[in-house]
Amino acid sequence: MRVGITGHSNLVPECVPAVQAAITEALERLGTTLVGVTCLAPGADQVFARAVLALGGEVEVVLPALDYRDRLKPHQVADYDELRAAATVVSVLPHMSSGRQAYVAANERMLASVELLVAVWDGVPAQGRGGTADVVEQARASGVPIEVVWPDGARRKP
């Protein structure tokens, strides 16, 4: 089963174990071999990728732009590199630079290829295109089922 991810990139570190457990539980309920599709953004995307790999699934990466890795903060690069190296397929969209347009395109590519979307989402409405709530709205509009994951204690940095 192909499962995509959208979620907040600014999770507070203390809640990551609870989010990881909730994602793992949601994926285990599917009871099938998984292919997780992600942009490998810090936060929810990387937590999801680790959960998929821990369950013996494959990870496919859709990178929004050619400079995606370069736009990461220095402390985020090692985790990104580790997960990208563990991926089965890496697609890089033809955008030269990361930004809203590239993120929207990557999310559209991801949604078009999955049977379910896991959303690590606090329920706050969309603040613009390309964010978590926007991807949830797109999934609903296109008929992709959504599993919202927001365990007790989950929080975002302000």
* pTM of the entire predicted model: 0.94
Structural domain spans, the chain = 13-149
Neighbours of 45 (CB within 10 A): 25
Tell me, what's the pLDDT at 128?
79
* Average pLDDT by stretches of 10, the chain with 158 residues: 96 97 97 96 97 97 94 95 94 87 94 97 88 94 97 94
Tell me, what's the pLDDT at 70?
94
What CATH number labels 13-149?
3.40.50.450
Tell me, what's the pLDDT at 129?
86
* Beta partners for residue 119, in sequence order: 6, 148
Query: What is the Cα–Cα distance from 139 to 81, expressed in whole angstroms?
Result: 28
